[in-house]
Amino acid sequence: MSGRFWAIIGVIAVIFVGFLVFGGDKDNKNNTGPNGDTTTTSNHIKGKTDSNVKLMEYGDFQCPTCGLYYPVVKEVYAKYQDKIAFQFRNLPLTQLHNHAFAAARAAEAASAQGKFWEMHDLLYEGQNSWSGSSSPTNTFKQYAKNLGLNETKFMEDFASSPVNKTINNDIDAFKATKSDMATPTFFLNGKKLELRDLVDETGQPQLEKFSAKIDEALKQRQ
């Protein structure tokens, strides 16, 4: 075959490889988190992060029931932070809570500056004040200021596509569990915990109820 034929083949091969490389890179950029890292879901984990026992919560920052569970979950964390891993993922129920997605964006924007859990706490502790606002963005900006965040970057991340994508990926991950869309939903080592097993006869969540489940999981993993 002529040298011209092989030259044409070589050009085609170069173009094809370039398409794969740059096309793949473009797809990856569409899948990056607010810190520039490739992500599929959020990755908010604290406590004993290498533990073989993990309590995961899917929560909605505007959900009153999540607000009811919040102080008890803090007690659970205080008791077991050196024994198990705690993880939070976003599940804003936007049909019920009109500011839930915006609150999740505030938490993820704070996460981009290493302050997810601090914003998580402020959102739940201030839930009664901002959830009834016509536009809670100014409250979220004040929270960012209180946490010492770069406010310009916070607002850029708050409105960014990567932050929206992270939240939507959390929602998709929850849907994959085939569970009812309800918050809070807790999974202990991948097994869904029924809320009725975590409350007393009046419907109030109890540290002792969580402890019974966690102690059993720790015993099984010894």
- Biggest alpha carbon–alpha carbon distance for the chain: 87
Summarised one tens digit per residue, pLDDT across range 73-131 is 999 999 999 999 999 999 999 999 999 999 999 999 999 999 999 999 999 999 999 99
Q: Average pLDDT of 158-179?
A: 97
What pLDDT, on a 0 to 100 scale, did the predictor assign at position 40? 83
Residue with tokens 């810190």: 35
The answer to whether the beta carbons of residues 206 and 199 sit under 8 Å apart is: yes
Q: One-letter amino acid identity for 190?
A: G
User: Under CATH, which number does the domain 44-220 receive?
Assistant: 3.40.30.10
Q: Where are the domains of the chain?
A: 44-220
* Residues 73 and 112 sit within 8 Å (Cβ to Cβ): no
pLDDT value for 94: 96
Question: What's the whole-number average pLDDT of the chain?
Answer: 87
Q: Which of 204, 220, 216 is nearest to 75 (CA)?
A: 204
133, 70 in Cβ contact below 8 A?
no
Look at strands 54-59 and 44-47 and give their pairing: unpaired
For residue 56, give every residue at least 6 positions away whose Cβ sits within 8 Å of its Cβ, in sequence order, or none.
86, 87, 88, 89, 186, 187, 188
pLDDT cut 70: percent of the chain above it: 82
The pTM of this model reads 0.82
Q: Which of the 8 DSSP states describes residue 36? A: S
Q: How many CA atoms lie within 13 A of 172 on its CB side?
A: 9
| Alpha carbon 201 to its chain's center | 31
pLDDT for res 30: 36
CA dist 170 and 76 (Å) reads 23
Structure tokens at 188: 């202990």
C-alpha to C-alpha distance for 141 and 84, rounded to whole angstroms: 32
Q: What is the pLDDT of residues 15-50, one digit of tens each?
A: 333 333 333 323 223 334 443 444 589 999 999 999
DSSP helix/strand/coil, 81: coil
